[in-house]
Chains A and B, each alone.
Chain A
């Protein structure tokens, strides 16, 4: 893992009219880091994410990738949304190819990455299926594979496992960790679920209530695979819970 900063967020501030949503947020993300962002319900996490993807532009502040202002035309920013977002008219394989074809990558390279992803995800039997022929969890795995296959400068994940049962969550979380290790991608993962954040992250950013700013950064230096019943794990989970508990 290098110490090189891949992403730099400086004084990010956002107003919608009079509504102050994000207040002067600054932080760095190392190349290949897995960062989780947690905060109380309604604190502005989605606005935060939309600023990182450039769907919204900030009122003040800037986002840099490799030292340059982030530009979706130049940089690869991938997003995995909470809702399943596989293209329903494309097969699994075509869904995996889609982004790379838009970016006009050479055909050989696309083939190589698609085959690699199909192998990594164990989707050999599903490559010619359409999303509606798959379970929700398999459809979500394709989306995640599609995002990793882009080898993005920054991969943003917005609570992709929100409504899944724990068993399935753990399974998919392990898969994300496996892909992340294999591909060395820089990931920002947003979640409401503190246990999930501690399970996944190298570092957790805790946001405050609106207008959101960074309350604290917590390093999670636990060996993987992590155990949710490990006392050290519980200590960190407890600490983060106390920082955001409103219920």
Chain B
């Protein structure tokens, strides 16, 4: 990123905890970070470290017990249409076609059919699902379903797109294919992306910056700037592997 970095989203001292068996367990502890406009930010942490809790807080699905979130300098409370989300479990509606799933948000917002279909079509084309508009989710492969989820999130035109482990359930090869796709889509339709994963190789392949979280409760352990790695990145390039090893050595083993 050569342009001057502009902060679009700020987290300040976010903490969250739950009562589990009469004990207060912290899940997120004092997380502060800035997200820059149009960057590809990866939030990396071991399995069950509290990553999803943090994303749910940003998306306004959960309220933190402490801390504030600012979007373009203004504090936000609860969910905001400028922040969209792609879930790991997708939540596609099985009784709706690809088109009907993708246009759903605009339909809820009361937009007319012709207009919303035109917008939905643009993003269906972008994720390369043209020809599958009338297919139902059960007729699609795992990778294609993920494409529907991405198109649906884009259609609502968010400024920030949260992707919470979208490829966690895909096999290693389909995952590589989708990682390349998500970068292509991000380049064609620039948005600020916050991408969550537990996969270090995926993080190094995708990110402008990596935020490494510690194991439960989630705290920011370190921030890595990966801009020295030019795209498209080669998974077996020595520099790539060096970053991967460096991050891996610093990651907690969650047995």
B45, closest chain A residue (CB):
A165
A234, closest chain B residue (CB):
B236
Tell me the smallest distance from the CB of A228 to a CB of chain B, in Å: 7
Q: How far is the CA of A165 from the CA of B165 in the complex (A)?
A: 12
Q: Report A-chain residues with C-beta under 8 Å of the C-beta of B255.
A: 135, 137-138, 168, 171
Binds A, one of B66-74, B75-83, B148-156, B241-249: B241-249
Q: How far is the CA of A159 from the CA of B172 in the complex (A)?
A: 10
A168 touches B47 (CB 8 A): yes
Of A138, A193, A246, A247, chain B has the most CB atoms within 10 Å of the CB of: A247
Given that A167-B248, A168-B254 are known contacts, is A192 also in contact with B171, CB under 8 Å in the complex? yes
A sample of 22 cross-chain residue pairs with beta-carbon separation below 8 angstroms, ordered by A number, consists of A41-B174, A136-B47, A137-B254, A159-B171, A163-B168, A165-B47, A165-B254, A167-B46, A167-B252, A168-B46, A168-B255, A171-B253, A171-B255, A192-B172, A194-B172, A228-B241, A229-B241, A229-B242, A238-B236, A246-B173, A247-B174, A247-B177
Q: Identify which of A40, A137, A138, A167 contacts B173 (C-beta below 8 A).
A: A40
A137, closest chain B residue (CB):
B255
A168 touches B253 (CB 8 A): yes
- A residues sitting closer than 8 Å to B (CB atoms) are 40-41, 135-138, 159, 162-168, 171, 191-194, 228-229, 234, 237-238, 244, 246-247
Any A CB within 8 A of the CB of B198: yes
Nearest 8 A-B pairs (CB), nearest first? Answer: A247-B177, A192-B172, A165-B198, A193-B172, A229-B241, A192-B171, A234-B236, A41-B173
B contact residues, total (Cβ < 8 Å):
26
B236 touches A165 (CB 8 A): no
Q: Identify which of A167, A192, A194, A228 contacts B251 (C-beta below 8 A).
A: A167
A135, closest chain B residue (CB):
B255
Q: Report A-chain residues with C-beta under 8 Å of the C-beta of B54.
A: none
A166 touches B236 (CB 8 A): no
Any A CB within 8 A of the CB of B180: yes
B173 touches A164 (CB 8 A): no
Any A CB within 8 A of the CB of B13: no
Q: Report B-chain residues with C-beta under 8 Å of the C-beta of A247.
A: 173-174, 176-177, 180
Any A CB within 8 A of the CB of B199: yes
Q: How far is the CA of A171 from the CA of B172 in the complex (A)?
A: 18
Q: How far is the CA of A168 from the CA of B172 in the complex (A)?
A: 16
Any A CB within 8 A of the CB of B208: no
A166 touches B171 (CB 8 A): no
